[in-house]
Structure 1
Amino acid sequence: MGRGEREAVARGGRLCEAAHAVVADHARAVDAVRAALEPICEDLAQRELDAIPVARLRDVTEGRLRLGEVEKGGFRTVREVLDAGPYRLRQIPGVGQQTAAQTVAAARQIAEAVRDTVAVHIDVDRPEPRITALVAALHVLVEAGPDARRAVDAAAALVERLGPLVTEARPASGRLRMLIAGQSRRERALAAVVEIRRLTAEAEQHGVPELLAQASVDLLRGPASDIAALVDFELRSAEYYSLLAEISGRRPDPAASEGFLPDDVAERVRAQTLDDTHRRVSLRGYQAFGARFTLAQRRVILGDEMGLGKTIQAIAALAHLAAEGQSHFMVVCPASVLINWTREIDKRSTLRAMPLHGPDRHEAFADWKGRGGVGVTTFDALRGFPVPGGGELGMLVVDEAHYVKNPQARRSMTVTEWAEHCDRVVFLTGTPMENRVSEFRNLVAVLQPGLADAIGDRAGVAGSKAFRKAVAPAYLRRNQQDVLTELPALQHTDEWEELSPSDEDAYREAVGAGNFMAMRRAAYARPEKSAKLNRLREIVAEAAENGLKVVVFSQFRDVLGVVKDALGESRDAVDGALFGPLSGSVPPVRRQQLVDEFAAAPGHAVLLAQIEAGGVGLNMQAASVVVICEPQIKPTVEHQAVARTHRMGQVRSVRVHRLLATGGVDERMVRMLENKARLFDAYARRSAVAESTPDAVDVSDVALARRIVEEEQARLGTGGHEEPAGSQ
């Protein structure tokens, strides 16, 4: 028995204690969420039970329960029955012990079902104390992130494996203990020391002690304030709701979240592991299943409805393959979303994103070939790159895959050639496929030719469930209403676009003239080559495919005019009515009429609105998609406009797309506004004064405009007369 053994036991003991602490800290954080959630859910359940008539108790007993005397006794709702209990019911003339017991038992059965299905909606615009407490409790776990989850999993494994060994090795921690221990006990202690050394060395090699230490700090750190937690919820509500669903156990129907796949396919997907080592965000249950589907089935179409996170599911699959040792991946997408892909990869994972686009794309491709990472390129640029050899590419991801539905198109042939040299291929499209069987067959032919041959022309006519069963090995689609158990969430997406050459020319002219407002709308000055307008068309087209209504906001009437012309040209190709523009010059009564007509229009429709005219006093909750054509100088204006759609009465999630151009006025505005005192704005925005006078808390238009104009003139080497910030 020597110092080495004593030190080994001590190190093992310290590591085991740290693991115990992390498990306990995580359990306390989860218990805090449950404690905050319980009274909210109970209140929601009681309200719902108060709205269920006593007559519904007959349904539970298949009509056998006699409730006439109970109803005559003045009991109107299930909640009143529960509050009364069997004793009070027996006091009603004609109600015996058996009827009273059966009535209360039926009421309890309904109450249990209601408690299992109530959904909590977090309204940050009207946060009452219990909701605020819930968000603050959730904030601890959301802020700790996936690293904390990994730490807890590692800690639990260490406690299970290391705990008994530390106990077994206790005699080896001192000479006297070893002396008084029997021969068998000493041998077991020394064997335990050997195993402790191995486990602690393995843990240290993988950075587990540091992971545990950081997790303990994160799990014990609360939000700076309730306001900080509420603001953070606004920025990443999906992560909060995902965690809430997990802890509460109120998850969507498993069959729906698994896309109603046949049992054999679903079981294979469930058995697929998903490594999160290179991922920076947690996944919702259906998203984890989608990532597993792409891995288990290898060559597939992920066709989730817009807003469900197809991008993060693809990134999760790439991160898993990177953890398995794959080094090279390729994402092919329209130019309009290339920047968004690179930003999402950087934000959501530790993978290296490499844009392979523009004049230096061949040098970038050579760098990607040598160093690896996720290459992100366009359909057109892909044609100029050499096709990789077999096994060289870990996964090929094709976004907006309906772009390659025509097998005779050059882009389709290029993608097909790349797919033939890659074992794993994922096509992403939010366009439903049931009614486009021929197009769907063309996509499947690239992925699984044998399956494509088996899909008949009438496959979609048989109904969506029959269609999905037929194509299950290659196609997974989930709808929002099937997998989002909470009430509508608000999802923000910044759509970063690279200006086209003609956009750049218009922008330079505006900068040279010192015209701030012209700089802000330069991206629409030449519609035929507008990058933002092209992306807007894509967003509206996808919304049309899914039957969703869209509101398009801009500060500028001329921008709305350009948008109207552009969308008007495509109305023949995309069914749906076009309303507006709704501007300050439209009388208030007519504004409301436009909104009512928009809401009453069947299926897809688009409403164009000037942001300050449409963002005040009008309820547009018929819309599920919001497009903001340019960043706003006053954040409160944008917030109020979005609030017109995302409010009580909205029955779907609201997806907000803010169109932004890189490298110019948009990027500078976003950066400056993000650097403001965010918490102060959040507090002020929720006050009555802020709602009525948003100017009171916003930055000065003139000061911000002058600063941006000067910086852009310096960057571009232009100069000239500076026009007033308010120029239209």
Structure 2
Amino acid sequence: MGRSEREAVAAGGRLYAAAQAVAGDHGRAVEAVRAALKPICDAEAEQALDAIPVTRLKEVTEGRLRLGEVERSGLRSVRQVLDAGPYRLRQIPGVGQRTADQVVAAARQIADAVRETLAVHIDVERPEPRTTALVMALQVLVEAGPDARRAVDTAAALSERLGPLLTEARPAAGRLRPLLMRGERRARAREAVAEVRRLTEEAAGAGVPELLAQASVDLLRGTSTEAAAWVDFELRSAEYYSLLAEISGRGPDTAAAEGFLPDEVAGRVRDQQLDDTHRRVSLRGYQAFGARFALAQRKVILGDEMGLGKTIQAIAVLAHLAAEGHSHFLVVCPASVLINWTREIEARSRLRVLPLHGPERHEAFADWKARGGVGVTTFDALRGFPAGEGGELGMLVVDEAHYVKNPKTRRARAVTEWSGHCERVLFMTGTPMENRVAEFRSLVRMLQPDLAEAVGDRHGVSGSKAFRKAVAPVYLRRNQQDVLTELPALQHTDEWEELSASDEDAYHEAVRAGNFMAMRRAAYARPEKSAKLNRLREIVEDAAANGLKVVVFSNFRDVLKVVTDMLDGVRGKGAGQVFGPLSGSVPPARRQQLVDEFAAVAGPAVLVAQIEAAGVGLNMQAASVVIICEPQIKPTVEHQAVARVHRMGQVRSVQVHRLLATRGVDERMVEMLNNKTRLFDAYARRSEVAESTPDAVDVSDTAMARRIVEEEQARLGAAARRESAGQP
């Protein structure tokens, strides 16, 4: 044994040290979160225990405790009992050692139960030092991302294997020790050196040293400023809460997170591995379970309530299958969400994504067939593509699957044909199926025909538990109240739409006229073909199916009328009662009356309101879905409008959908406002000056309008010239 052995052991030692360093860096980052979380939990627990009367201690001991003397002493709450402790309790006349110990033990039992059920809510509108410290500690782990988690897991596995091997191999790497070793010990050392060399070379080939080094850098980087941490939290609150639940151990009830599946199915799903190599974001526990469910059961329906992240669960499944070597995937969705799908896949995974839509869809389809990736297409376009054969399609994902509930339609037949050629199919729908057994059976028939025949109408009639048990092999649904323990949260979604041909015509007319305001509302000028209006209707119907109330905001009264007319037309299809429009011309007393009537409705309802008229002074906590019809010139207008819904008294998470059109005024406004105001607004919006004079933090309306009009006239003029010249 000589130089070669010494070099192998040295390389193994460096790799082991890097693995240990990553584990230590990650451990310190986690401990920083726990340290920041403790005072928040302590304060919330104390507040909760203050509200629990001493008499509740009897329940813990099944009525055996006599608390009359304790109450007469002035100790009214469980917290006061804990603060007093056994010594002070023994000073109370009539309370002996045994009773004092029993009282304190019962109080501690209640305190433990309270701490286990605490759900920390980070209030972005009311930041204070303790929550700021928590957000900043969490940001370190959020910024490090899934790669850091992968590095930590890799480091743990390497440390477990390399540690004992290096101990065994080091004598063989010395200059004199090999001469002193004999027989079996010498052979073991040689074997250990060989194994260290193999592991080190294998790790180098897989890029592990670089992965570990980058993870340590990311975990040690820290945050830049408090404001930057809060801005990042607003943008990625789901990732923050996911980490918080994991570190605190206060995630949702396991049975709820697993959709109350029978043990046999849930156990099989838990055993399913989930590779995150091609994924850029972390998953919440229930989301990881949903992805595993799709993988383990192969052909399924994911029916989570809207707002729970069905899209990211689907992307996680595709990323896992890509890591296993699958190359082709297909997502079928309504045209209104096609752009969102492509953006989500690009942002949240490393998968190649290709829209198979529009005039050049057949050329794009040929490119997808040749090169692979995730093809994203529409129900209508799918009919024009030949269904793949030979198992080349790794998975077919069908979003808004209730669109194909009628098996007689051409879109349903196309989906059925493609499903038949694919071993893995994921249907997604936020519409609850329990009371739609006939529709559900139709969807299941495309996936698992034998199970479809076994699902009868009686299962829906007998209640959701019986229904879920019957359909467990194919259907998973979770509700917000069951799995989002940190409610109420605020979820922002930008809904990017491609303008229809009719929308484009109206937009071009507004650009030629140099009319900035007409450009902003051109997407609603021709309602019968409006892409934004179509998406708005889908969101409202989805919310209504889940029993949620919706507020629709727009800056323009004519847009509000178009929206109201459309919603009145679909009210009979489950959109709920429509209130408004609530505009600046409506007297203040009548505005409040409309809001009160909207809140009083037992089921789903929609309130249509002008954003500036309704954005101040009115509280709309009854709603949990907000739709903003167009981006606003002043960011504070949107913030104030959303705050009417997401505020004290809100008991559900609030989902904000901002309707945006690609390649035009919306995209330019979003770019300009994000670049110029996001970070400054994060500072200013939390200051007294900003609250009293919101205009102070907004960019100039006139300057923005003039610049966008000029740029759009130049862009469309250049496009027209290329078209007339026959250029692409």
- Give the TM-score band, short-chain normalised: over 0.9
CA contact (8 A) 1:543 1:625 kept: yes
What is residue 696 of structure 2 aligned with on the other side? 696
Report the secondary structure of 1:712's partner residue: helix
Residue identity matched to 1:696: A
**CA shift at 1:718, angstroms?**
8.0
**CA shift at 1:575, angstroms?**
5.2
Residue 21 of structure 2 corresponds to residue 16 of structure 1: no
Alignment partners' CA distance in 1, 2:650 and 2:232: 22
What is residue 722 of structure 2 aligned with on the other side? none
> How well do the aligned residues superpose, as a CA RMSD in angstroms?
1.2
Residue identity matched to 1:487: L
What is residue 107 of structure 1 aligned with on the other side? 107
**CA shift at 1:487, angstroms?**
2.5
Residue identity matched to 1:151: A
Residue identity matched to 1:638: E
What is residue 725 of structure 2 aligned with on the other side? none
Alignment partners' CA distance in 2, 1:463 and 1:412: 28
What is residue 275 of structure 1 aligned with on the other side? 275
* TM-aligned CA distance change 1:437 to 1:339, over 3 Å: same
Alignment partners' CA distance in 2, 1:453 and 1:713: 59
Alignment partners' CA distance in 2, 1:173 and 1:711: 69
Residue 68 of structure 2 corresponds to residue 90 of structure 1: no
Structure 1 stretch displaced more, 118-127 or 505-514: 118-127
Residue 609 of structure 2 corresponds to residue 614 of structure 1: no
**CA shift at 1:123, angstroms?**
1.0
Residue identity matched to 1:605: A
Alignment partners' CA distance in 1, 2:182 and 2:414: 74
What is residue 385 of structure 2 aligned with on the other side? 385
Alignment partners' CA distance in 2, 1:141 and 1:132: 15
Report the secondary structure of 1:443's partner residue: helix
Alignment partners' CA distance in 1, 2:9 and 2:537: 65
CA contact (8 A) 1:511 1:718 kept: no
What is residue 594 of structure 2 aligned with on the other side? 594
What is residue 529 of structure 1 aligned with on the other side? 529
Alignment partners' CA distance in 2, 1:643 and 1:182: 77
Map Cα deviations across residues 611-663 of structure 1 (whole Å, 9 max, x no partner). 11111121111110000000111111111111111111110000000000001
Structure 1 stretch displaced more, 506-515 or 635-644: 635-644
**CA shift at 1:217, angstroms?**
0.3
**CA shift at 1:2, angstroms?**
2.9
What is residue 638 of structure 1 aligned with on the other side? 638
What is residue 578 of structure 1 aligned with on the other side? 578
Residue 320 of structure 2 corresponds to residue 320 of structure 1: yes
CA contact (8 A) 2:582 2:613 kept: yes
What is residue 246 of structure 1 aligned with on the other side? 246
Alignment partners' CA distance in 2, 1:158 and 1:334: 46
What is residue 215 of structure 2 aligned with on the other side? 215
Map Cα deviations across residues 118-141 of structure 1 (whole Å, 9 max, x no partner). 111111221111110000000000
Alignment partners' CA distance in 2, 1:429 and 1:62: 46
What is residue 436 of structure 1 aligned with on the other side? 436
Residue identity matched to 1:692: S
What is residue 421 of structure 2 aligned with on the other side? 421
Report the secondary structure of 1:458's partner residue: helix
Report the secondary structure of 2:659's partner residue: strand
**CA shift at 1:190, angstroms?**
2.2
**CA shift at 1:441, angstroms?**
0.6
Question: Within 5 A, what are the aligned runs for 1:468-507?
Answer: 468-507=468-507
**CA shift at 1:183, angstroms?**
4.6
What is residue 466 of structure 2 aligned with on the other side? 466
CA contact (8 A) 1:628 1:659 kept: yes
Report the secondary structure of 1:338's partner residue: helix
Paired residues in the alignment total 719
Structure 1 stretch displaced more, 77-86 or 524-533: 77-86
Alignment partners' CA distance in 2, 1:40 and 1:504: 52
Residue identity matched to 1:643: A
Report the secondary structure of 1:394's partner residue: strand
Alignment partners' CA distance in 2, 1:67 and 1:692: 52
**CA shift at 1:172, angstroms?**
3.1
Q: Percent sequence identity over matched residues?
A: 81
Question: Within 5 A, what are the aligned runs for 1:671-690?
Answer: 671-690=671-690
Residue 562 of structure 2 corresponds to residue 562 of structure 1: yes
Report the secondary structure of 1:123's partner residue: coil
CA contact (8 A) 1:22 1:155 kept: yes
Report the secondary structure of 2:300's partner residue: strand
Structure 1 stretch displaced more, 533-542 or 388-397: 388-397
What is residue 168 of structure 1 aligned with on the other side? 168
CA contact (8 A) 2:540 2:575 kept: no
What is residue 726 of structure 2 aligned with on the other side? none
**CA shift at 1:173, angstroms?**
2.9
What is residue 625 of structure 2 aligned with on the other side? 625
What is residue 723 of structure 1 aligned with on the other side? none
Report the secondary structure of 1:607's partner residue: strand
Map Cα deviations across residues 47-93 of structure 1 (whole Å, 9 max, x no partner). 00000011111111122222122212221111111111122222222
Question: Within 5 A, what are the aligned runs for 1:15-54?
Answer: 15-54=15-54
CA contact (8 A) 2:2 2:173 kept: no
Residue identity matched to 2:435: N
Report the secondary structure of 1:649's partner residue: coil
TM-score when normalising by structure 2: 0.97
**CA shift at 1:595, angstroms?**
1.4
CA contact (8 A) 1:491 1:655 kept: yes
Residue 62 of structure 2 corresponds to residue 72 of structure 1: no
CA contact (8 A) 1:512 1:718 kept: no
Residue identity matched to 2:697: V
- Stretches of structure 1 that go unaligned for 5 or more consecutive residues are 720-728
Report the secondary structure of 1:175's partner residue: coil
Structure 1 stretch displaced more, 72-81 or 164-173: 164-173
**CA shift at 1:182, angstroms?**
4.2
What is residue 189 of structure 1 aligned with on the other side? 189
What is residue 134 of structure 1 aligned with on the other side? 134
Map Cα deviations across residues 456-491 of structure 1 (whole Å, 9 max, x no partner). 122101010111001101100000000011121111
Residue identity matched to 1:153: D
Report the secondary structure of 2:585's partner residue: coil
Map Cα deviations across residues 221-261 of structure 1 (whole Å, 9 max, x no partner). 11101111111000000000000000000011111110000
Alignment partners' CA distance in 1, 2:64 and 2:593: 51
Structure 1 stretch displaced more, 178-187 or 28-37: 178-187
Report the secondary structure of 2:573's partner residue: coil
Alignment partners' CA distance in 2, 1:189 and 1:37: 47
CA contact (8 A) 1:46 1:79 kept: yes
Report the secondary structure of 2:176's partner residue: helix
Structure 1 stretch displaced more, 567-576 or 487-496: 567-576
Map Cα deviations across residues 392-442 of structure 1 (whole Å, 9 max, x no partner). 111110000000000111111110011111111111000000111111111
What is residue 726 of structure 1 aligned with on the other side? none
Residue identity matched to 2:259: G
**CA shift at 1:506, angstroms?**
0.1
Alignment partners' CA distance in 2, 1:249 and 1:298: 30
Residue identity matched to 1:690: A
CA contact (8 A) 1:15 1:200 kept: yes
TM-score when normalising by structure 1: 0.97
Report the secondary structure of 1:709's partner residue: helix
Structure 1 stretch displaced more, 385-394 or 508-517: 385-394
What is residue 373 of structure 1 aligned with on the other side? 373
**CA shift at 1:591, angstroms?**
1.6
